[in-house]
Chains A and B, each alone.
Chain A
């Protein structure tokens, strides 16, 4: 597998999955993102991103137990994989290194 790409929103979702660790499922991710981004996000966008990063192998999923709410539907929990973590690290490294090259300019 060559260099995998990761879109901006996908990266945010992946970060959120990593941040929520074992508690990451659709709505939790949605709420986390909305809180951080301070804007409304549609759940479908989250699902699209989740499916994509799962296909790319950055996260894996499992079903949780049946609960009383959600109409009896099980939650699907996502956990970041080693590949995903490495991807995040690489992204972070990349951004950091570029960021460091920025001359110290003061904007007053």
Chain B
């Protein structure tokens, strides 16, 4: 029996001993061992180990320096070889570089988007100390979380607590018309603001004094672009603007445009002091103001919240006595409460979505979704690279063998392959910058943001890109580098299987790629279906062919003539004057009581919309019981409820009943309403929410005019209406919108996200297919001869195509099995955010799988059929 020398000792020797001595020493050691082992194997082993240890001395230990001797030359060679390899295999290089570039570009765009979303309000110098006071109110059956407080909350807190440095309030004013020459232009983003606005927020003032800018009535602060719009310059402090054709306002300051990553996008501010209600000392109502508190450095917001709640309770007490005749304790014992909480300024955009937000905010969920998609896309591109590199290893194996025989060490080979992958990544990165540049306008359109290319100028971005290139290069290059450099030269040069045809690793990667793609396809389908569902859902009213005309309040006495003229216009079927529409945000909530005792426990808060008698027919809403309003005085104390309100009240026959509410009139503080009708539920807020109780009151609200049109020629109807408008109110802009467009705007963010996900999902599938295409090309190339022989022996084209596609399809099937449950779980979670949603259908997931399968089949069969159709004479002769 042959006894081997101790391997552990031999390994140790190989580790430390210099290579030029190693063979001699090993040989001699083994020879001595073989002699000694005949006497005693144990002794021989010990002696062997002891001898090895004796070699551990400077003369025999490897030099750590000898690697450096001609590194420059070697790297020069690596680059040259790398370049030649890229140039030689143009097809593969194109797939690799193109795939990576698309992946990187997608990542860059997503990165821009995510970074922008995360950067909201960070530009404020004191951002970390600014908090918004939010209210949570439980009042009978009403429970609400709102982003607003009563008027005096901030002011009182500032005087009560030394921890608070400053406070300021904002309230949406809406829009007004500004006169420029003879025309009036609508400014839509106007806010009421306190004079302390500039102490809290960082809004750089270009002209004027920020301290006094909002202290006088009839003053106005403009942003730079608004100032330029009316005066073509920014140095306009002291000039006046004519507002709504009647009042004048003095410009007291011009500020820089508010950054796009602020949670409000106002273009002008007017002082809160003009608004009497802004100084009313009311605590149990009038929650209308977004109140911001600037805490002093080091103040803990949690302790502050507790203190603020105490303050709130103290001030609530007298109000509760006055309005509901109860002490705070009694009120709380009923389970009712007012609570205040602080929301960090920088959390508002992504983490807050309450009634009373100044503008629609973003959603953290989408930030996660996009980040995951970016990582997926990048991984898919990296996997392509790895797969193609290892698949092509057969072609490179010989090169590796020859290199090793010529004395190349393993680390040289690793360096060489890594250099190639870095080179590929570098080209991909450069290309991706180009792609990003070209696709930015489209991306801006899709996201509704305005990114420009200047982000590339910043040092950190360049640093990040270099870092990304290196990481991607290392990730995608490391596997091929270690895999290829491990080949045994003897095995590969003899042409035997130094490499395996079927790589489990490679197949796993392809399976992962397709799992990711299927996940994205299924996700996209679900998002798309949900959007379609919302679009096509019967909302309880019709939004087709509805024209909404703005600025009605400017018509004054001319409204009636205008209405009369409109009914003469051909195509106009009906019209209704009111600003309360299912699609916009003109909303008003009132507390109603079912009995004249006004017991607070029975109060319900109902959306109360003031409409005229034409509203229901104009909107195509259905009266399910009772009747519509009649024209005239008779119905001023009538009320029409929606089904949700009727159900909420829980009466058997609602029409018999009356509702009561408080009015501002001293003489008759309680108004009594007769319920005259019930209207079918219709959706007036996002489909993420349940339909809430709503009541129509009869009256005049000039927030807008809705025209119901029935005409195939919308353009001429609009022209005629505009002509009527011009003849009646010269100087005011004719502004209109379509109700269906306004509705689309309600779901704008969902639609944008849907579009983005669709695009990025398609990209990921495209990149996957690129990789699959490369693999298929390679595999068919490898089997050219086999196919030739099969054809000669009578194999059919279909048979060969199946043969070549089978292996890949198996992987795709496995990917389907992996991806489906994950996709099901994730889409299920997403849909939970909607009250009105589609149910998850099995066919969506089967469909996603089939799509992936189909695309994969298409990609592979392209190559497979090409190979199967090839003339066997050619393939067999190709040596």
Interface on A for B, CB 8 Å cutoff?
25-27, 30, 42-48, 51, 63, 69-71, 73-76
Contacts and interface: CB of A to CB of B under 8 A. Distances in A.
Interface in B18-38: 21, 23-32, 34-35
Contact of B30 (A42, A46, A70): A70
Contact of A43 (B21, B23, B28): B28
Interface of B: 5, 21, 23-32, 34-35, 50-51, 54-55, 57, 59-60
Nearest to A51: B59
B28 A48 contact: no
Given A42-B50, A73-B23, A74-B23, 20 more contacts: A25-B24, A26-B24, A26-B27, A26-B31, A27-B35, A43-B32, A47-B21, A47-B25, A47-B60, A48-B57, A48-B59, A51-B59, A63-B23, A73-B26, A73-B27, A73-B30, A75-B27, A76-B23, A76-B24, A76-B27
Contacts, number: 61
Contact of B27 (A42, A46, A51, A71): A71
Contacts of B50: 42
25 contacts: A26-B25, A26-B27, A26-B31, A30-B32, A42-B50, A43-B28, A43-B29, A43-B32, A44-B51, A45-B54, A47-B24, A47-B55, A51-B59, A63-B23, A69-B30, A69-B31, A70-B30, A70-B31, A71-B5, A71-B26, A73-B26, A73-B27, A73-B30, A76-B24, A76-B27
A3 B29 CA distance: 34
A71 B28 contact: no
Contacts of B60: 47
A69 B29 CA distance: 12
A27 B21 contact: no
Nearest to B54: A44
A51 B23 contact: no
Given A42-B51, A44-B51, A51-B21, A27 B26 contact: no
Contacts of A51: 21, 59
Given A27-B32, A51-B21, A51-B59, A70 B54 contact: no
Nearest to B53: A44
Contacts of A70: 27-28, 30-31, 34
A70 B2 CA distance: 12
Contacts of A76: 23-24, 27
A25 B23 contact: no
Contacts of A63: 23
Contacts of A47: 21, 24-25, 28, 55, 60
Contact of B34 (A25, A44, A69, A74): A69
Nearest to A55: B59
A58 B787 CA distance: 65
Contacts of A75: 24, 27
A9 B380 CA distance: 66
A74 B55 contact: no
A54 to B, nearest CB: 11
Q: Which of A25, A51, A73, A75 has most chain B Cβ within 10 Å?
A: A73
A71 B26 CA distance: 9
A47 B55 CA distance: 9
A74 B60 CA distance: 18
Contacts of B27: 26, 70-71, 73-76
Contacts of B34: 69-70
A51 B17 CA distance: 14
A47 B28 CA distance: 9
A47 B57 CA distance: 12
Nearest to A31: B35
Closest 4 CB pairs of A and B: A73-B27, A26-B28, A76-B24, A44-B54
A42 B31 CA distance: 13
Nearest to B34: A69
Contacts of A43: 28-29, 32, 51
Contacts of A25: 24, 28
Contacts of A74: 23-24, 27
Nearest to A64: B27
A45 B59 CA distance: 12
A15 B21 CA distance: 22
A70 B51 CA distance: 16
A30 B55 CA distance: 16
Nearest to B26: A73
B57 to A, nearest CB: 8
A43 B30 CA distance: 11
A18 to B, nearest CB: 19
Contacts of B23: 63, 73-74, 76
B21 A42 contact: no
A53 B587 CA distance: 102
A72 to B, nearest CB: 8
A45 B25 CA distance: 11
B51 A71 contact: no
Contacts of A46: 28
A26 B50 CA distance: 17
A47 B54 CA distance: 11
B28 A27 contact: yes
A22 to B, nearest CB: 16
A25 B35 CA distance: 15
A62 B675 CA distance: 114
A26 B28 CA distance: 6
Given A51-B21, A73-B23, A74-B23, A42 B28 contact: no
Contacts of B51: 42-44
A76 B20 CA distance: 11
Contacts of B57: 48
A64 to B, nearest CB: 10
Contacts of A42: 50-51, 54
A25 B208 CA distance: 97
A75 B29 CA distance: 11
A15 B51 CA distance: 23
B490 to A, nearest CB: 12
A44 B55 contact: yes
Contacts of A44: 51, 54-55
Contacts of A45: 54
A74 B27 CA distance: 7
Contacts of B25: 26, 47
A43 B23 CA distance: 14
B38 to A, nearest CB: 13
